[in-house]
Structure 1
Amino acid sequence: MKPRHLQMIAVGGSIGTGLFIGSGQALRNGGPAGILIAWAIIGVMLINVTQALGEMCILYPVSGGFYTLAVRFLDPGMGMALGWNYFAQWAVVLPLEITAAGITVQYWEGAQQVPIAAWITIFWFAIIAINVFGTLGYAEEEFWSSCLKLAVVVIFIIIGIVLNVGGGKGLYSEYVGGRYWQDPGAFANGFKGVCAVFVTAAFSFAGTELVGLAATETPNPRKTLPSAVKNTFWRITLIYMTSLCIIGLNLPFNQERLLGGSDGAGTSPFVIMANLAGLNGLDHLINITICISVLSIGLSCVYAGSRVLTAMAETGFAPKVFTYVDKSGRPLWSVILVLMFGPIAYVNVVSAGDTVFNWLLALSGLSTLFTWGSICMCHIRFRKAWRVQGHHVDELPYRAIGGVVGSWIGFILVCLVLIANFYIAIFPLGGAPEDPGARAEAFFLSYLAAPVFLAFWLGCFLIKRTTPLKAHQIDLDTGRKAWFTAEEMNQYRAERRAAPFYIRMYRILFSS
């Protein structure tokens, strides 16, 4: 990958249905204040996660990224559980995204005449075709799709501000301001509503950790990865938080079309706002962007799942056949296996499709949180091993802004979000079903990923009997790419501090 590819993957790679469609359901459940609180908490978590990931992946740009680091710094058993959990997450998200694309297209006027199975086939083959071009094909598609997504979001934010101050038609022909924060209110379901939004917020950020996987396929991770990590902060603050603020100001949480939050692109708050303002054509642009976003996330599924599967095979936790990489740099059999999950999307053409997809969502819902928590713990263990084995933090080519404290903050926030989701799984919005069987089903639909992850971990322990290594036993040399002394790094930092103020500020905010 080229530096521009990695930058755009960091800034816009994970912008998809979580923001464009899922934010509508989140607004319905949490209210305008609820979505801002939930996304802000997940955002703080993600900033610390990406900082920790950047520090480790610049020093160790190894195959498999954080999975390989988890095997080394935490425990091989936990690493295997995380690897298979991560692979399963992306494998089941792939058919979900393909189906979302089909539903989005069917929402367009006239497109309903074509069966959804045909649209699913088109998108599945499009993903296959782009993967023929390997890493460069994925990177190039991500670059241009991210440019489009960012442009549309910026346009939406500008239009949203104009509409809010009364510069539109219909409902927006007069000043709106914070009207909907007063009536129907800032919170839809109180504290429980905020807790219910966390999974949607986490899903919208899923894929942020891809910069760690992509670092191994860039010429100079030390130069490109710090910029990508810092750009994550700007994506969180400028793209997500501003968009959600505009949505919460311009749409009440009891808006009727939000009530079918999972029924298709027509329930996207972006589309609803455009329709209510009478902005003909903008809704079509947003729907096209949603389709391209879904295609982008689908390609990310193949990229992330295949790279982790190959890394697991290289460490002995998956069949050796998946270690094969062709001369174009594609982990061919791993890519093919992930693509084979795509046809699951066809279950949507039968009446039982919703049930199947609900369980697939249950499998992927919390997986991202386990991954982020493991990255924080890897960093904490790495820093301890680094200190115990006689190293100084000044030797590191890149240091996480929050250090170990930041990783502890990220890990604690992951735990709190998991607790909040456990609370919602037991006491769901609208009340728990009376039937015990239905109540158990509702719980596992919200929390299925947790027992699946624990089953992976227990299975690996029973097979391999692995236990965590002590800090002085951890291997800090294999795969290490930076061997600078503390004196060399301090001299390098002193030279950079001598640069003009505006250059130093630019480096702090955007660059390495």
Structure 2
Amino acid sequence: MDDKKSWTPDSSPGPSAYEGDMAHVKRKWSRRMTDSFRRDPNASVIRSASFSAAHPHHHHYDAEAAAQATAMSPLLRRLKGRHLQMIAIGGSIGTGLFVGSGKALAYGGPASVLLAFSLTGVMMYCTVQALGELAVLFPVAGSFSAYSTRFLDPAWGFAMGWNYAMQWLVVLPLEIVAASITVDYWVGRNLNAAWVSIFLVLIVMINFFGVKGYGEAEFIFSIVKVTAVIGYIILGVLINIMGGTDDFGRPDGSYMGFRLWHHPGAFHNGFKGLCSTFVTAAFAFAGTELVGLAAAETENPRKALPTAIKQVFWRITLFYIVSLLLVGTLVAYDDPRLLNGKSSADAKASPFVISIQNAGLQVLPSVMNVVIMISVLSVGNSSIYGSSRTLAALAEQRQAPSFFAYIDRTGRPLYAIIVASVLGLLAFLAASHRQEDAFNWMVALSGLSSIFTWSSICLAHIRFRHAWLAQGHTLDELAFRSPVGVIGSWIGLIFNMLVLIAQFWTGFSPVGWQSMSSKELVINFFQAYLAAPIVVIMYLGYKLYLRTEVVKIRDMDLFTGKREFNVKVLVAEEKADRRNWPTWKKLYKFFC
């Protein structure tokens, strides 16, 4: 019988089977990790030799090649319906609602805030419906900037694409600094640089997980924001019923109602105050259009997008209108705290936080500040997504440097994400003594961007419908049709033009201009209207260089990238499916 020998490290001639398997797994994982960053083999959207040979001087824009490139983009379709719904219902709920509404309340009064947000909500509803119709039929990379190129003018598409990309590139450092300032609510010390680093790394990591990472993060962020707004509405009703004060400002449990609408009043600063609140309302709705941008990376845009777009109505009605109606009954427009915020995310200037503080509740203001911080991080997360996808689409249309079109095997526009992330380092200006000047001018770059984007969506939809009918199609062929139709798009377009006029007036002659010096008035105007001349310069420069023309109705490309639907079969299948729905689901689908 053989002697039994004890095992020693030296007695083993090589790795065990288990160790060998683990080494193989590690090598396999590292190889997969490395390979994921390589270019997608299906990506063919770099300036090819054929394109250069066909256009040696590059003074001609190939619209057909551009449309083909956005339609064949190798972005992966990994967003599910639930992701798209939460992006739609909670994506744009952020500092514009939670904090920016305080400045609007101070300038215009509660009635102006309610009126401005309601009318802007109607405009946004019309705009998103138009975008939904286009995005279901053409779920292409770049979405609305690509639609401007196809249905309006390649030069305008170039201007709108860069306008939108710059908006989000600038918003990223702004939101990271804003998130770091929210921490001051508890800490009370200037640790901005440390928090900037933490938040920047977090946002960049989320986006390096690809579109699935962005979708899951937004799903969680949106649930938190939606829950917070619903909770505030319930709390606001209770405070209104029993949160009144006596003549000395002490809580006495009396009914408030619309007491503050009578004193100090419903309106402030007259018509100019109302115009000022329109600008704030437009800022608060920025990001709503991301639903259309995400359509190119959604598993089933035909099914998910119409459902998500329906959510916009409820978000506008419930989250904006109802919550701001309650805020206007709980916080007076002359409360000095509304204008004391040192940033767009300072919870101390939030009317939501102020109303809770006025009720004498101790813990809930901190909870609201957490929600504000999450909202800011959500916007920062969306900024990398929005800018990287827009830059990639611009490169695919040969309207941006070609390296932006590099899309790896996991569907990430890698170089675009890296550039957007690097620009996030501008957030470290928070530690500079000139931080206020730097950020005011960055805000100016993005100030009117959304207005131009929404206007272009409405105009592209109007011209698409015209071409669709002129080229022999019928509306019955559309898989999703905007319920407000072309009339809704005209309403959205005209309203956006009116907001541009209002912004021009309030920029040239702001509230309280009498106490401002000439230099301050000039700086205020350019900070309010800087985006407009930049868009005009980009449009005219590109148009003169490539000699582009407005796309004629008869020449409009309505086929490239179009999803083919047998609408009659789809409708029949949906009706058959509905018959088996329980009653609760029928009610839910009717409203949502």
Q: Does 1:475 align with 2:557?
A: yes
Rounded Cα–Cα distance in structure 2 between residues aligned with 1:142 and 1:503: 25
Q: Does 1:213 align with 2:293?
A: yes
Letter in 1 for 2:511: L
Letter in 2 for 1:78: W
Q: 2:74 — aligned with what?
A: none
Question: Is contact 1:163-1:172 (8 Å) kept?
Answer: no
Rounded Cα–Cα distance in structure 2 between residues aligned with 1:93 and 1:303: 12
Greater displacement, 353-362 / 77-86 = 353-362
Rounded Cα–Cα distance in structure 1 between residues aligned with 2:171 and 2:438: 13
Question: Is contact 2:404-2:415 (8 Å) kept?
Answer: yes
User: How far 1:10 moved relative to its partner?
Assistant: 0.4
* Structure 2: tracts of 5 or more residues without a match: 1-78
Over 3 Å counting, the alpha-carbon distance change for 1:476 and 1:189 in structure 2 is same
Question: Is contact 1:24-1:261 (8 Å) kept?
Answer: no
Q: How do residues 12-161 of structure 1 correspond to structure 2 at under 5 angstroms?
A: 12-108=90-186, 111-113=187-189, 115-161=191-237
Question: Is contact 1:28-1:254 (8 Å) kept?
Answer: yes
Identify the match of residue 373 of structure 2 among 287, 291, 295. 291
Letter in 2 for 1:164: N
Q: How do residues 261-272 of structure 1 correspond to structure 2 at under 5 angstroms?
A: 261-263=341-343, 264-272=346-354
Letter in 2 for 1:365: G
Rounded Cα–Cα distance in structure 2 between residues aligned with 1:163 and 1:91: 40
Question: Is contact 2:341-2:348 (8 Å) kept?
Answer: no
Rounded Cα–Cα distance in structure 2 between residues aligned with 1:399 and 1:344: 42
User: How far 1:350 moved relative to its partner?
Assistant: 2.3
* Structure 1: tracts of 5 or more residues without a match: none
Rounded Cα–Cα distance in structure 2 between residues aligned with 1:209 and 1:434: 36
Greater displacement, 476-485 / 418-427 = 476-485
Question: Is contact 1:25-1:262 (8 Å) kept?
Answer: no
Q: How do residues 277-288 of structure 1 correspond to structure 2 at under 5 angstroms?
A: 277-288=359-370
Q: TM-score, normalised by structure 2?
A: 0.83
Rounded Cα–Cα distance in structure 2 between residues aligned with 1:262 and 1:417: 26
Question: Is contact 2:513-2:521 (8 Å) kept?
Answer: no
Question: Is contact 2:176-2:380 (8 Å) kept?
Answer: yes
Letter in 2 for 1:123: F
Letter in 2 for 1:419: I
Letter in 2 for 1:74: L
User: What's the CA shift string for 1:165-221, capped at 9, x where partnerless?
Assistant: 115884362111101000000012111111001221111111100000111111110
Greater displacement, 257-266 / 86-95 = 257-266
Greater displacement, 74-83 / 338-347 = 338-347
Over 3 Å counting, the alpha-carbon distance change for 1:462 and 1:172 in structure 2 is farther
Question: Is contact 2:244-2:255 (8 Å) kept?
Answer: no
Q: 1:397 — aligned with what?
A: 479
User: What's the CA shift string for 1:73-109, capped at 9, x where partnerless?
Assistant: 111000000000000101111111111111110121x
User: How far 1:267 moved relative to its partner?
Assistant: 1.1
Identify the match of residue 418 of structure 1 among 490, 500, 506. 500
Q: TM-score, normalised by structure 1?
A: 0.95
User: How far 1:261 moved relative to its partner?
Assistant: 4.0
Over 3 Å counting, the alpha-carbon distance change for 1:233 and 1:505 in structure 2 is same
User: How far 1:130 moved relative to its partner?
Assistant: 1.3
**Identical aligned pairs, as a percentage?**
49
Q: How do residues 488-499 of structure 1 correspond to structure 2 at under 5 angstroms?
A: none
Rounded Cα–Cα distance in structure 2 between residues aligned with 1:52 and 1:89: 22
User: How far 1:387 moved relative to its partner?
Assistant: 0.5
Identify the match of residue 407 of structure 1 among 489, 499, 503. 489
User: How far 1:445 moved relative to its partner?
Assistant: 1.2
Rounded Cα–Cα distance in structure 1 between residues aligned with 2:167 and 2:370: 25
Q: How do residues 298-313 of structure 1 correspond to structure 2 at under 5 angstroms?
A: 298-313=380-395
Rounded Cα–Cα distance in structure 2 between residues aligned with 1:433 and 1:257: 21
Question: Is contact 1:394-1:489 (8 Å) kept?
Answer: no
Q: 1:364 — aligned with what?
A: 446
User: How far 1:293 moved relative to its partner?
Assistant: 0.9
Q: Does 1:373 align with 2:451?
A: no
Over 3 Å counting, the alpha-carbon distance change for 1:493 and 1:416 in structure 2 is farther
Letter in 2 for 1:64: G
Identify the match of residue 182 of structure 1 among 236, 259, 262. 262
Over 3 Å counting, the alpha-carbon distance change for 1:240 and 1:329 in structure 2 is same
Identify the match of residue 330 of structure 2 among 240, 250, 260. 250
User: How far 1:432 moved relative to its partner?
Assistant: 5.1
